[in-house]
Amino acid sequence: MVASTEPPTIAVIGAGVIGLSAALKIQALLSGASAQARVLLIAREWPTSIPGAPILHSPDYASMWAGAHVRPIPAGDSPQLQREARWLKQTAAEFEELLRTEPSVGITRTPGIEFLDAPPPDYVNQTEASFAEETGLAGYRKYAASELPEGAQLGYEYETYCVNSPLYCGNLLRKFIVQGGKTLHRDLKSEWEAFAAGGSNVKLVVNATGTGFGDWRSFPTRGQTVITNVLSATKTVTRQNKDGTWSFIIPRFFNGGTIIGGTKEPGNWEVEPRPATREVLLAGGKVLAPYATNHSSPLNEKDLRVITDVVGRRPTREGGVRIELEERQLTDANGQLRTGHVLHSYGAGGRGYEISWGVANEVSEVVKDLLPLIVGTKAKL
């Protein structure tokens, strides 16, 4: 058998927020353990964050289309929501640290406001203390009835974060490369193909492709939104309407305009934006605009310009994110049988940004356990 001259490689498939965050956490783990291994990012689509650049991404590259804000969902007694709440809390802490150390990364701390026309009990029962405990976010305040828009039964505010998603992902990618990470542009047919595509010494593959490969539990949740030129929005506002639809305004700080949205359509594969939906979204946005801007300088309707309609697919998975190690027998370039390991990490649905660092921490914990297998026993664990 010919020994590989390449360093042991961990290949991460996916340059969305989940793959990028996981790749950075794995880099940190390897450097902390003085492990001589490299991280290779393989993806079909990559972030673009250059102002004025044409938008060429497919609706499947969800990370480019996200608002994106942190909007906690009360976990109640749902194990999936409880797991996501733990990840959100870790992400909020990491965002705060990033704001301190890398203020231009693309995150902005901002007030978040929510209105619900028919609030479920888990929302009604939230208190300042329970909210802070579950999310790590400060400043929760329930609104008095006089502060609510017509039709809303519950309203509250808190301190949260908005992310300029293309800028943020571009910055994570830059950091990964500057720290020695390698990249490969490739459209893979299977997660197992990464063992061959990634060179001759791939020890582990992380599958952060959003949807996975042929997982019957994965499905798209279509999101249609509108990017507008409104620059006066400084708060993110969400309304859960009585009929189950959503209205939201998310400022894309760092000159990214403002997102007015948006639909959540599970199982809808339609790619083209619907003009009628755009009008409904803009109408919902106008109701929320006084809350997103300062009441003293409300949205000026005649200045509102649509930059583009957006359709993105949230990579949703029944049961939530799959973090699972899978093992298979492979044949390598020398015709030898070998065992390959894939660590799945996909299915973040509509929450990829707000749970990203929690998911990445969990991925990195699994990789830590596998380090002896990846680099032998020399790493300082």
Binding site for ligand FAD (CB under 6 A): 13-19, 42-45, 60-63, 65-69, 186-188, 208-210, 223, 225, 262, 312, 314-315, 346, 348-354
Q: How near is the Cβ of 19 to ligand FAD at its closest, in Å?
A: 5
The structure tokens listed for 246 are 């959503």
Q: Are 5 and 35 in contact (CB under 8 A)?
A: no
Distance of CA 308 to the CA centre of its chain: 21
**How long, in residues, is the chain?**
381
CB atoms within 10 A of CB 161: 23
Closer of 8 and 262 to ligand FAD (Cβ): 262
Q: How near is the Cβ of 7 to ligand FAD at its closest, in Å?
A: 22
In three-state secondary structure terms, 15 is: coil
Closer of 15 and 299 to ligand FAD (Cβ): 15
Closer of 33 and 57 to ligand FAD (Cβ): 57
Q: How near is the Cβ of 34 to ligand FAD at its closest, in Å?
A: 29
Q: How near is the Cβ of 358 to ligand FAD at its closest, in Å?
A: 11
Q: How near is the Cβ of 375 to ligand FAD at its closest, in Å?
A: 25
Closer of 343 and 371 to ligand FAD (Cβ): 343
Helix orientation angle between 79-101 and 128-135, rounded to the nearest 10 degrees: 80
Minimal CA–CA distance to 231: which of 166, 157, 305? 305
Q: Who's near 291: CB < 8 A, 6+ residues apart? A: 113, 149, 235, 237
Q: How near is the Cβ of 378 to ligand FAD at its closest, in Å?
A: 31
Closer of 35 and 349 to ligand FAD (Cβ): 349
Q: Where are the alpha helices (DSSP H) in the chain?
A: 17-32, 79-101, 121-124, 128-135, 165-178, 194-197, 275-292, 352-375
Q: What is the distance between the alpha carbons of residues 53 and 75, in angstroms, rounded to a whole number?
A: 39
Q: How near is the Cβ of 42 to ligand FAD at its closest, in Å?
A: 6
The structure tokens listed for 108 are 């902005």
* Residue 155 CA: distances (Å) to CA of 67, 167, 246, 270: 21, 31, 14, 33
Closer of 94 and 371 to ligand FAD (Cβ): 94
Q: How near is the Cβ of 348 to ligand FAD at its closest, in Å?
A: 4
Q: Are 313 and 59 in contact (CB under 8 A)?
A: yes
Closer of 126 and 238 to ligand FAD (Cβ): 238
Closer of 29 and 173 to ligand FAD (Cβ): 173
Q: Are 301 and 286 in contact (CB under 8 A)?
A: yes
Q: What is the distance between the alpha carbons of residues 21 and 165, in angstroms, rounded to a whole number?
A: 13
